[in-house]
């Protein structure tokens, strides 16, 4: 039994969504690979953005709740910040949540940047808004650059 072109495209976009949702993989990788595989640039960027943002949202909401639970559970006298937490705070204080969100796909990845922003005490909704904006910018940039590159070589 042979699949139609529409079904093949649907599965391809599902693969893009799932690949972008993996915390180690960023939209800067998934979008160009999807476009080079023959998918349309705009839908590929949108689907990759949705995939990456879905797990970033889980990290933001879940991380906020987990941090609250952890603070309630730990005694006050043992609340010394770790070196990793101190480094994340310093990074977030230097660049702020907007800077983290815009630099994340190039540096640490969107999921780690989300955790770093939450570790500084930033509100999860604010972090999620900025991460969405940063991921949207990089998804669009990756799609535009890849499409321009493909056009230049064809």
Per residue in 39-82, pLDDT (tens digit) is: 999 999 999 999 999 999 999 988 767 767 766 776 655 556 66
Per residue in 75-108, pLDDT (tens digit) is: 655 556 667 556 666 767 777 889 888 888 888 8
Q: Enumerate residues 6+ apart whose C-beta is below 8 A from 59.
A: 23, 111, 114, 115
Tokens matching residue 146? 């890849």
Percent of the chain topping pLDDT 90? 46
Does the model's pTM come out above 0.85? no
Report DSSP state, residue 143.
Answer: H
| CA 56/CA 78 separation, integer angstroms | 29
Report DSSP state, residue 78.
Answer: G
Tally of domains within the chain: 1
Residue 151's pLDDT is what?
A: 86
Residue 63's pLDDT is what?
A: 76
Provide the CA 22 distance to its chain's centre, in angstroms: 9
| CA 121/CA 124 separation, integer angstroms | 9
Range of the domain at 108: 5-153
CA angle 57, 96, 100 (to 5 degrees): 50
For residue 89, which of 118, 60, 61 has the smallest C-alpha distance?
118
Tokens matching residue 17? 């969504």
């Amino acid at each position: 039994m042979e699949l139609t072109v529409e079904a093949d495209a649907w599965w391809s976009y599902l693969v893009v969504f799932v690949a972008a949702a993996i915390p180690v993989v960023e939209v800067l990788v998934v979008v160009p690979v999807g476009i080079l595989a023959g998918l349309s640039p705009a839908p590929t960027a949108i689907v990759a953005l949705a995939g990456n943002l879905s797990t970033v949202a889980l990290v933001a909401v879940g991380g906020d709740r987990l941090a609250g639970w952890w603070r309630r559970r730990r005694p006050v006298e043992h609340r010394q910040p770790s070196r990793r937490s101190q480094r994340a705070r310093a990074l977030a204080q230097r660049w702020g949540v907007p800077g983290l969100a815009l630099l994340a796909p190039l540096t640490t990845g969107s999921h780690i940047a989300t955790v770093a922003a939450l570790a500084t005490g930033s509100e999860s909704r604010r972090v999620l808004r900025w991460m969405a904006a940063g991921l949207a910018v990089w998804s669009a940039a990756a799609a535009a650059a890849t499409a321009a590159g493909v056009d230049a070589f064809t």
